[in-house]
Amino acid sequence: MNSYKIIDESTWNRNFHAKIFRNSVEPAFCVTFELEITDFLEFVRAQKLSFTMSLIYAAASAANSIENFRYRFLEGKIVLFDKVDTSFTYLDKETELFKFVLVPFEGTLQEYAKRASETAINQKAYFTGPLGNDVFVFSSFPWISYTHISHTNSGAKDNATPLFDFGKYFERDGKTFIPFSVQAHHSFVDGLHVGRFAEALQKMARELAR
């Protein structure tokens, strides 16, 4: 598990908001937006990297840069992780069943994309055990360009792991876009932070393509 610090809720400025949403019937909310990936897609293709793994790297970079996406509930307390790793679904083309793959978030884009691709291909088990608290969960949905997505709900109100999804990319007015979704626990993340994430991800995609 990555290192973290325990939050003193008595002095935390978000304490009241966190308590309200923690007791909600559905404490998470989901937002979908369009991400412009024209140069990023061209760069990834030129580098012969996996587009999926490259986008996961960009999104994990953006999410890690925003403190609110690194808060979690841990053994009844609120903690802030120093760094959050990645977990993603990967489809076994023979069985048409997906597996959950865990890859530490580290290294350059090229290093991560290569390591993530190799790990996904070599992993035989569909599930290697319960996901830790210190991950972002990603899932690609490359068959359609959706405008909305929802997720199964385990009923665990303290599950604050953010979920990130992305669909089939498409062209419009000479540019390439992809639908990108963020589901986050409202105790820690507001629309403001999702907006900041969207801006950070767009900036990251452009910077990585330079």
Instruction: Cite the DSSP H helix spans in the chain.
Output: 15-22, 38-47, 51-64, 109-122, 191-208
* Torsional sign, CA 98, 150, 139, 185: negative
Which CATH number is 45's domain given? 3.30.559.10
**Is residue 23 pLDDT above 90, yes or no?**
no
Q: Count of domains in the chain?
A: 1
Spatial CB neighbours of 144, under 8 Å, sequence gap ≥ 6:
167, 168
Using a pLDDT cut of 70, give the percent of the chain over it: 100
Tell me what pLDDT residue 49 has.
Answer: 97
- Give the tokens for residue 26: 């559905």
Average pLDDT, the chain: 96
Tell me what pLDDT residue 130 has.
Answer: 82
The model carries a pTM of 0.96
For residue 131, the 8-state DSSP code is P
Place of tokens 């990130």: 164
Helix (H, G, I), strand (E, B) or coil at 68: helix
- Tens digit of pLDDT for each residue in 88-129? 999 999 999 999 999 999 999 999 999 999 999 999 999 988
Average pLDDT over residues 34-49: 97
Using CA atoms, how far apart are residues 33 and 18, in angstroms rounded to an integer? 25
- Tens digit of pLDDT for each residue in 121-155? 999 999 988 888 999 999 999 999 999 999 988 88
Cβ-contact 105, 84 below 8 angstroms: yes
Using a pLDDT cut of 90, give the percent of the chain over it: 92
- Tens digit of pLDDT for each residue in 45-86? 999 999 999 999 999 999 999 999 999 999 999 999 999 999
**Is residue 200 pLDDT above 90, yes or no?**
yes
Tally Cβ neighbours within 10 Å of residue 75. 8
- Give the tokens for residue 115: 């390591």
**Top-confidence range, 24-28, 155-159, 205-209:** 205-209
For residue 72, give its domain range: 4-208
Spatial CB neighbours of 122, under 8 Å, sequence gap ≥ 6:
none
Tell me what pLDDT residue 129 has.
Answer: 82
Tell me what pLDDT residue 201 has.
Answer: 98
